[in-house]
């Protein structure tokens, strides 16, 4: 099949050699030479079924033979060329097959390996680390700027800042607000000594893309803005109106997703990291480089210098201009990388979590439409919470149906009856977040038999069914002991049996009426715990 595929590509390349797509598909010539054959006729239906496997095998063969590694992007482009060539093949006179060979022939679809991944919203612990790193980095940068302007500032004598400030003054004295080239940077660093960064030194008197990232993260979280919205923010759209006799900060940004202007408001406080104070600092920090950009971009709030081959002053609008510095900042501090759209979702998630999904609070946070409750709109972390709540409701309804109560009526629920545990006869307060090792988060717990030693599990001491289930579970564990390895029994199941014997049985024995009714129940034996290990 590979040789037939190669002949087909060769014939096609001869027929449409004037087409521009051939220039993009030149890499296929190696494939033709490698697998060239003498097949007089080509079955394009067979090509449809095998082209993806054959072509990927060819790419893998190049990598294995020591050729240059193909990146995912390159592989995607090359596979796209194959797809386009097969579509164009219908124009060749010597090829006869149906007009759309893909519609009726089964086989793998021609796609690259690149699959979109959901944006990960930081957990509470990760968010705490992100905020600590952001505040620490902003504090250092603002201290560095103050010490650069004021020779009497205490930071000039601090070991943490002294060498960097000295290098910053030397750089500014030689280049002013111009960006030095690579050779000049190397010469300065050789004289300054090891362990210093020219970019860090220059951030003392003008913003760099790397050191503006924490300020952008903090503003996006506090003003509930996406990265693209913050990058588009202009100084003329920042105002300080009075609302009900109180002066506030208001910024107006264009939100392309809904094609409307969005107004964000924040209180004026004395905290140095409040939005108003950060905006004033950014305006002062970038004042000396605003005349270095195009006139139409000179009033952007976020301006920064880019070092390297294409050194220049730029705004951070478009593409990955802001996302890339944010990712570098997260990487340098050992944090989970985030995109420019994540900080706004962080703020909305915090509000949802604290207000239990109150729509009025969500409106204050900037979402004014009921459509924001749709699953495709909320963040991944909020979606997981919605799935968990939905799953708990289904479990409750299923339990009531099995018990003959037909449809669940939450007015009759006891506190123990809202959720089901992995072990019959028990209830669980966290069925989607079990602490048992091996249980995935946000999925129903499957640790059958382990509920007696779990902090979230407990039987209903007023229910004779739960009382009977405790005895049946103990019998099932004792039946499984002869088939267990000694370390498995001692390490896992003996503690479970001890909990049943010394904790739960005595607690039920204090309720004589429950125990008496439990003896009359005809409930079959429970599954042995050894046979349940594969579940």
- Please identify, among 25, 58, 91, the residue that sits at the C-terminal boundary of a domain: 91
Q: Classify residue 379: in a domain, yes or no.
A: no
Please tell me whether residues 396 and 474 are part of one structural domain.
yes
**Domain count within the chain:** 4
**Helix ranges restricted to H, 71-204:** 72-88, 124-149, 162-175, 182-192, 198-202
Tokens of 431: 């069925």
Please tell me whether residues 398 and 473 are part of one structural domain.
yes
Bridge partners (DSSP) of residue 243 are: 246
Exposure b/e, 181-220, CB count within 10 A at least 16 = b: eeeebeebbeebeeeeebebbbbbbbbbbbbbbbbbbbbb
Tokens of 216: 């952008």
Neighbours of 500 (CB within 10 A): 20
- Please identify, among 149, 170, 202, the residue that sits at the C-terminal boundary of a domain: 202
238: Cβ contacts below 8 Å, ≥ 6 apart: 249, 250, 251, 279, 301
Q: Classify residue 132: in a domain, yes or no.
A: no
Spell out the SS3 assignment of 116-155.
CCCCCCCCHHHHHHHHHHHHHHHHHHHHHHHHHHCCCCHH
Determine the structural domain holding residue 396 and report its residue range. Answer: 385-519
Q: Classify residue 122: in a domain, yes or no.
A: no
- Backbone φ and ψ of 296, nearest 5°: -70, -15
Strands 303-306, 260-267: pairing kind: unpaired
Exposure b/e, 256-287, CB count within 10 A at least 16 = b: eeeeeebebebeeeeeebbbbbbbebbeebbe
Q: Classify residue 525: in a domain, yes or no.
A: no
Please tell me whether residues 254 and 180 are part of one structural domain.
no
Q: Classify residue 115: in a domain, yes or no.
A: no
Tokens of 343: 């900080």
Tokens of 501: 């014997």
Please tell me whether residues 195 and 219 are part of one structural domain.
no
Please tell me whether residues 479 and 441 are part of one structural domain.
yes
Please tell me whether residues 275 and 331 are part of one structural domain.
yes
Strands 246-255, 260-267: pairing kind: antiparallel
Q: Could you list the pLDDT tens digit for every one of the 535 residues in the chain?
A: 444 554 455 444 444 443 444 444 444 444 444 444 444 444 444 444 445 555 556 556 655 555 545 555 555 655 566 656 555 554 444 433 333 333 333 333 334 444 445 556 677 678 788 889 999 999 999 999 999 988 888 888 888 888 888 888 888 888 888 888 777 777 777 776 677 788 888 888 999 988 999 999 999 888 888 888 888 889 999 999 988 888 899 999 887 777 788 888 888 888 898 999 999 999 999 988 888 888 888 889 989 888 777 778 888 887 678 888 888 898 888 887 887 777 776 766 666 666 666 666 666 665 555 445 554 455 555 566 666 566 656 666 665 555 555 555 545 544 444 356 788 888 887 777 778 887 877 677 888 888 888 888 888 888 888 888 888 899 888 888 888 888 888 888 889 999 999 988 888 888 888 888 888 887 777 877 764 443 3
Please tell me whether residues 186 and 240 are part of one structural domain.
no
346: Cβ contacts below 8 Å, ≥ 6 apart: 121, 122, 127, 221
pLDDT value at residue 528: 75
Please tell me whether residues 309 and 425 are part of one structural domain.
no
Please tell me whether residues 228 and 336 are part of one structural domain.
yes
Q: Classify residue 125: in a domain, yes or no.
A: no
Q: Which residue has the tokens 């003959």?
A: 404
Closest by Cα among 349, 388, 380 to 119: 380
Tokens of 245: 């006799």
d(C-alpha 398, C-alpha 533), whole Å: 24
Please tell me whether residues 515 and 389 are part of one structural domain.
yes
Q: Classify residue 133: in a domain, yes or no.
A: no
Number of residues written out for the chain: 535
Q: Classify residue 43: in a domain, yes or no.
A: yes
pLDDT value at residue 327: 87
Q: What is the CATH number of the domain that holds 272?
A: 1.10.443.10
Tokens of 507: 């607690």
Exposure b/e, 96-129, CB count within 10 A at least 16 = b: eeeeebeeeeebeebebeeeeeeeebbeeebbeb
Please tell me whether residues 220 and 314 are part of one structural domain.
yes
Please tell me whether residues 408 and 450 are part of one structural domain.
yes
Q: Are 204 and 168 in contact (CB under 8 A)?
A: yes
Q: Are 62 and 97 in contact (CB under 8 A)?
A: no
486: Cβ contacts below 8 Å, ≥ 6 apart: none
pLDDT value at residue 240: 92
Q: Are 229 and 205 in contact (CB under 8 A)?
A: no
């Amino acid at each position: 099949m590979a040789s037939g595929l190669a002949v087909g590509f060769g014939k096609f390349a001869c027929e449409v050699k004037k087409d521009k797509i051939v220039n993009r598909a030149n890499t296929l010539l190696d494939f033709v030479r490698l697998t060239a054959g003498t097949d007089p006729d080509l079955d394009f239906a067979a090509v449809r079924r095998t082209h993806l496997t054959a072509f990927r095998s060819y790419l893998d063969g190049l990598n294995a033979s020591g050729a240059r590694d193909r990146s995912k992007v390159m592989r995607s482009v090359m596979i796209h060329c194959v797809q386009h060539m097969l579509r164009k093949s219908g124009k060749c006179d010597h090829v006869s097959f149906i007009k759309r060979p893909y519609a009726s022939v089964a086989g793998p679809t021609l796609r690259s390996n690149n699959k979109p991944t959901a944006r990960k919203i930081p957990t509470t612990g990760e968010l705490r680390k992100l905020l600590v790193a952001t505040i620490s980095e902003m504090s250092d940068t603002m201290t560095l700027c103050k010490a650069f302007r004021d020779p009497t500032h205490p930071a000039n004598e601090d070991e943490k800042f002294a060498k960097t400030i000295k290098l910053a003054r030397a750089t500014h004295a030689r280049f002013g607000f111009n960006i030095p080239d690579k050779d000049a940077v190397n010469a300065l660093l050789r004289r300054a000594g090891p362990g210093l960064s020219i970019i860090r030194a220059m951030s003392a008197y003008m913003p760099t893309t790397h050191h503006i990232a924490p300020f952008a993260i903090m503003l996006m979280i506090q003003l509930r803005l996406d990265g693209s919205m913050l990058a588009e923010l202009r100084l003329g759209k920042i105002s300080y109106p009075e609302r009900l006799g109180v002066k506030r900060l208001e910024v107006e940004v264009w939100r392309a997703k809904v094609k409307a202007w969005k107004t964000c408001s924040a209180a004026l406080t004395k905290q140095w990291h409040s939005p108003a104070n950060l905006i004033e600092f950014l305006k002062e920090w970038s004042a000396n480089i605003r005349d270095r950009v195009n006139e139409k971009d000179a009033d952007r709030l976020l301006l920064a210098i880019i070092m390297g081959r294409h050194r220049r002053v730029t705004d951070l609008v478009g593409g990955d201009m802001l996302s890339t510095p944010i990712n570098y900042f997260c990487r340098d501090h050992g944090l989970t990388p985030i995109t420019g759209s994540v900080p706004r979702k962080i703020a909305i998630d915090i509000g949802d979590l604290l207000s239990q999904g109150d729509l009025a609070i969500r409106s204050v946070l900037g979402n004014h439409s009921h459509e924001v409750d749709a699953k495709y709109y909320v963040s991944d972390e909020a979606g997981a919470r919605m799935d968990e709540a939905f799953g708990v409701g289904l479990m409750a309804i299923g339990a009531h149906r099995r018990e003959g109560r037909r449809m669940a009526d939450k007015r009759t629920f006891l506190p123990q009856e809202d959720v089901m545990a992995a072990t019959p006869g028990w209830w669980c307060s966290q069925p989607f977040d079990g602490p048992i090792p091996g249980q995935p988060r946000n999925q129903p717990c499957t640790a059958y038999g382990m509920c007696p030693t779990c902090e979230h599990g407990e039987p209903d001491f007023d229910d004779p069914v739960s009382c009977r289930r405790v005895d049946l579970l103990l019998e099932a564990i004792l039946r499984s002991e002869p088939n267990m390895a000694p370390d498995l029994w001692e390490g896992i199941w003996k503690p479970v049996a001890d909990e049943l014997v010394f904790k739960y049985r005595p607690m039920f024995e204090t309720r004589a009426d429950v125990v008496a009714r439990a003896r009359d129940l005809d409930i079959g034996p429970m599954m042995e715990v050894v046979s349940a290990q594969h579940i």
